[in-house]
Amino acid sequence: MKILIIGGTGLISTAISRQLLEAGYELTLYNRGETEPRLPQGYQVIKGDRDDTETFEAQMAGLEGFDAVIDMICFNPKQAESDIRAFSGRINQLIFCSTVDVYTKPPATFPVVESHERHALSDYGRNKAKCEDLFMAAHEAKDFNVTIIRPASTYGEGGNIIHTFGWETYFLDRLTEGKPIIVHGDGEALWVSCHVDDVARAFVNALGNEKAYGKAYHVTGEEWQTWNQYHERLAEAIGAPKPSIVHIPADLLVRISPDQAMTTFLNFQYTNIFDNSAAKADLDFKVTVDWKTGAKRTYDWLLENDRIQSWNKFSFYDQIIESYKQQTGELIAELSNYHKRR
């Protein structure tokens, strides 16, 4: 099969590309050419900017013979509409990388299934949902077959490990140095992560798979763990001391540091567990990399590639902890005997 990936240099798309090359697919990547792919030889690159829709569509019109397109960097309806114009009647299948962030949070029931209500909190999730609707309409119009894949938190070599303040790696240095770690809320919301190798395999198995046409799938992990467990097991995996966790409410963190804590406020504070049985049945999806093994592999890659920042890069972190402890201590001291004074 001849495959075009729009993107191709990100965490998931790199893993997909590597698996496609290993399986003997004929692979072409379309991207701006600003990031060198971490791939073996055997693929082609077409340089361009998909946001320049006129040029993008002209470039696509000049291409022939692709069986399927995997769009990893479609984030808004304008880009989805451009895909439909570019590929209608010219390919067999389009696989759209969506997200579990399309769903209403908190959900009405757990685990979340693919038919769950989609009223996302974030612009990112709302736009992905609009793209899904456009692609499914194209599928119904028989422009091409559509498969939607909704990953959750995906990590692995080539990427970072998330935490309450996002993706920056100073957090790992704090862990290894035994510095206090901020965790949102009480740390008891459930979270799930999936290693990129397992996620990528589902995309590959969806190609040309008639069972996957016109459907959306969760490609998500199964190792549900609280955020407290997440941090404790990560520390164990990388040989760090047991973390000293400081719990701070998410709605307070986002007011203190909105740039760093907005994702926590809109996403991480909610329990995220998903039913992946459809992907298991149709895409032969399997979780083969457990959290501690995958986290260690990711940490080692970051270390080997000099990607771990110093813990003092974000000095405001310790100021938040000190101020929070001081203010809550004063509040407790002031009110702890209040009932006795009534």
Q: What is the pLDDT of residue 34?
A: 84
Per-residue pLDDT averaged across 289-315, rounded? 96
| Cis peptide preceding 111, ω within 30 of 0 | yes
Residue 339: inside a domain, yes or no? no
pLDDT value at 340 more than 90: no
**pLDDT above 90: percentage of residues in the chain:** 93
Per-residue pLDDT averaged across 194-218, rounded? 99
Domain assignment of residue 280, given as a range = 2-330
Task: Quote the CA–CA distance of 68 and 58 in Å, as a whole number.
Answer: 18
CB 27 within 8 A of CB 20: yes
CATH number of 284's domain: 3.40.50.720
Is residue 340 one of the residues assigned to a domain? no
Establish if 337 belongs to a structural domain. no
Mean pLDDT of the chain: 96
CA distances, 63 to each of 115, 136, 265 (Å): 35, 24, 43
Q: Could you tell me the pLDDT band of residue 342, with boundaries at 50, 70 and 90?
A: low
What average pLDDT score do residues 308-323 get?
Answer: 94
pLDDT, tens digit (0-9, with 9 covering 90-100), for 79-130:
999 999 999 999 999 999 999 999 999 999 999 999 999 999 999 999 999 9
Closest CA to 56 of 81, 39, 26: 81
Evaluate whether residue 336 is within a structural domain.
Answer: no
For range 274-279, the mean pLDDT: 98
Q: Of 26, 17, 143, which is closest to residue 91 (Cα–Cα)?
A: 143
242 is a domain residue: yes
Q: How confident is the model at residue 243 (pLDDT cuts 50, 70, 90)?
A: very high
Q: Model pTM?
A: 0.95
CB contact set of 29 (below 8 Å; sequence gap of 6+): 4, 5, 7, 8, 9, 17, 37, 43, 44, 45, 46
Q: How much is the average pLDDT of 191-207?
A: 99
Rounding to the nearest 10 degrees, give the CA dihedral for residues 231, 234, 239, 241: 0
Q: 272: Cβ–Cβ under 8 A, 6 or more apart, which residues?
A: 100, 112, 152, 153, 189, 190, 191, 192
Domain count, the chain: 1
Answer yes or no: is 293 within a domain: yes
Residue 233: is its pLDDT beyond 80? yes
CA distance 200 to 312: 35
Flag whether pLDDT at 43 surpasses 90.
yes
The predicted pLDDT at position 27 comes to 97
pLDDT, one tens digit per residue, over 155-198 is 999 999 999 999 999 999 999 999 999 999 999 999 999 999 99
Confidence at residue 337, expressed as pLDDT on a 0 to 100 scale: 77
* Tokens 């965490």 found at: 11
pLDDT for 271 = 97
Which pLDDT tens digit goes with each residue over 245-264? Answer: 999 999 999 999 999 999 99
Q: Is residue 342 part of a domain?
A: no
* pLDDT band at residue 37 using 50, 70 and 90 as cut-offs: confident
Report how far Cα 43 is from the mean position of its chain's Cα atoms: 25
The pLDDT of residue 341 is above 80: no
Q: What is the pLDDT of residue 313?
A: 83
In a domain? residue 341: no
